[in-house]
């Protein structure tokens, strides 16, 4: 039979365990509290039929938020997830193409904004895939967007993402014979990036650019932001670098940026060359350069 002192010690022990558990649970719940997002573009959540772009590269995103699946015999790579509510749609798209979402081994993103990475934490949990990200976006991914220089400061906008590998300009991501070169294209976010890879089909090979086009948010001041003093300089460097890139076909973070719906309609036959649109790429960059120049004059 326990004496009074032993009973008190045991009671204190269990109270401490309970308090610690409640504190941890409260911290976990708090960490998952996300600020509400309003006035979202309905095309960001609108379904779109998945299809094969070229070789082992597939489109699995929504009507406007582009997500790309790169398949290999040793597992797959997924670039972007769209909004958090798009994860079931992306999984369905991957399955519709005949692949198992559970075989996704690597997660990448073109920029750490909620409309492109909102579902990455959930996808990471479902697949156990490793997240690899540009160094400039690693902190933003970890804190759910709160440290974003333009949109942050009000709390997390998406669930925290665990980044397993930090990438730098020209780093190569390899899996199952596929080699993807990450291109550091900062401005839109501090770690915005594009990807270059080669894919093949029975007719030949294609150099593919998955571009993060450097659009400018209304909140951005090119003269410098408190969390990003060199934003204007980075935009200028990115625009110069992107104009020099060479590729056979290209696509982008938003379907609207590369006129996806004009180039491929649901049910269209496989046609990689529909995306061989250098003029469209150059025209898009010219418009972005003009937007940059005009905003620079305003400031």
For the chain, what is the domain count? 1
Read off the pLDDT of each residue in 140-153 and give the average, rounded to a whole number. 97
Burial zone of 237 (CB within 10 Å; 0-12 exposed, 13-18 middle, 19+ buried): middle
Q: What's the pLDDT band for 39 if we cut at 50, 70, 90?
A: confident
Cα within 13 Å of Cα(180), Cβ side: 31
Q: Is the residue at 291 inside a domain?
A: yes
Residues 43, 159: Cα–Cα separation, whole Å? 22
Task: Look at residue 26 and tell me if it is in a domain.
Answer: no
The predicted model gives 264-277 an average pLDDT of 97
Going along 142-279, which residue ranges are E strands? 163-167, 172-175, 178-184, 193-201, 204-211, 249-252
Q: What pLDDT, on the 0 to 100 scale, is given for residue 18?
A: 31
DSSP-assigned beta bridge partners for residue 211: 252
Statement: residue 241 has pLDDT above 70: yes
CA 274 remoteness from chain centre: 24
> How does pLDDT run across 194-215, given as a tens digit for each residue?
999 999 999 999 999 999 999 9
Residue 105, CA atoms < 13 Å, CB-side half-sphere: 12
Q: Which tens digit of pLDDT belongs to each residue from 98-141? A: 999 999 999 999 999 999 999 999 999 999 999 999 999 999 99
Confidence of residue 287 (pLDDT cuts 50, 70, 90): very high
| 278 belongs to a structural domain | yes
- What was the pLDDT predicted at 298? 86
Q: In what order do the strands lie in the sheet with 249-252?
A: 172-175, 178-184, 193-201, 204-211, 249-252
Residue 106: the pLDDT is: 98
Tell me the average pLDDT across 221-236.
Answer: 97
Give a yes or no: residue 65 inside a domain: yes
In a domain, 19, yes or no: no
Task: With respect to residue 24, please indicate whether it lies within any of the assigned structural domains.
Answer: no
Residue 299 confidence (pLDDT)? 77
Res 87 pLDDT > 90: yes
Q: Is the separation of the CB atoms in 63 and 254 below 8 Å? A: no
Q: Which residue has the higher pLDDT, 297 or 278?
A: 278
pLDDT at 27 > cutoff 70? no
Whether residue 26 is predicted with pLDDT greater than 80 in this model: the reply is no
Asked whether residue 12 is assigned to any structural domain, the reply reads no
pLDDT for residue 10 is more than 80: no
In a domain, 69, yes or no: yes
Spatial contact of 195 and 180, defined as CB atoms under 8 Å apart: yes
Mean pLDDT, residues 230-250 taken together? 98
Q: What is the pLDDT of residue 177?
A: 97
Condensed to tens digits (0 to 9), the pLDDT of residues 212-221 reads 999 999 999 9
- Which pLDDT does position 38 carry in this prediction? 84
- Mean pLDDT, the chain, as a whole number? 91
pTM confidence score: 0.89
pLDDT of residue 32: 57
CA-to-CA dists, residue 157 to 36, 72, 142, angstroms: 8, 32, 11
Ranges 36-45, 58-67, 116-125: which has the least confidence: 36-45
Q: What is the CATH number of the domain that holds 222?
A: 3.60.15.10
- Burial of residue 202 (number of CB atoms within 10 Å: 0-12, 13-18, 19+): exposed
What is the rounded end-to-end Cα distance, in angstroms, of the chain?
A: 80
Query: Which range marks the domain in which residue 132 is found?
Result: 42-298
Q: In this predicted structure, what is the pLDDT of residue 94?
A: 98
Could you count the other beta carbons within 10 Å of the beta carbon of residue 63? 18
Q: What residues form DSSP beta bridges with 65?
A: 254
């Amino acid at each position: 039979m326990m004496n009074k002192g032993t009973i008190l010690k045991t009671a204190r022990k269990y109270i401490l365990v309970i308090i610690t558990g409640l504190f941890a649970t409260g911290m976990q719940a708090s960490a998952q509290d996300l600020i509400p997002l309003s006035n979202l573009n309905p095309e960001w959540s609108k379904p779109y039929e998945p299809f094969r772009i070229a070789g082992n590269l597939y489109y699995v995103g929504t009507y406007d938020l582009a997500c790309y699946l790169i398949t290999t015999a040793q597992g797959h790579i997924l670039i972007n997830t769209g909004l958090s509510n798009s994860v079931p749609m992306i999984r369905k798209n991957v399955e519709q193409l005949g692949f198992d979402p559970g075989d996704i081994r690597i997660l990448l993103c073109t920029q750490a904004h909620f409309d492109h990475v909102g579902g990455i934490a959930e996808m990471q949990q479902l697949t156990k895939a490793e997240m690899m990200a540009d160094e400039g976006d690693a902190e933003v991914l970890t804190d759910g967007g709160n440290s974003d220089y333009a949109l942050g400061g009000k709390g997390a906008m998406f669930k925290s993402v665990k980044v397993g590998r930090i990438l730098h300009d020209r780093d190569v991501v390899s899996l199952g014979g596929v080699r993807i070169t990450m291109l550091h294209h900062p401005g839109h976010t501090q770690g915005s990036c594009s990807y270059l890879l080669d894919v093949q089909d029975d007719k030949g090979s294609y150099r593919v650019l998955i571009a993060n086009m450097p659009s400018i948010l209304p909140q951005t001041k090119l003269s410098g932001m408190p969390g990003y003093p060199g934003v204007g300089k980075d935009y200028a460097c990115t625009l110069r670098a992107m104009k020099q890139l060479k590729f056979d076909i290209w696509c982008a973070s938003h379907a609207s940026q590369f006129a996806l719906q004009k180039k491929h309609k649901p049910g269209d036959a496989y046609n990689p060359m529909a995306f061989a649109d250098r003029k469209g790429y150059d025209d898009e960059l010219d418009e972005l350069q003009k937007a940059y120049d005009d905003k620079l004059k305003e400031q």
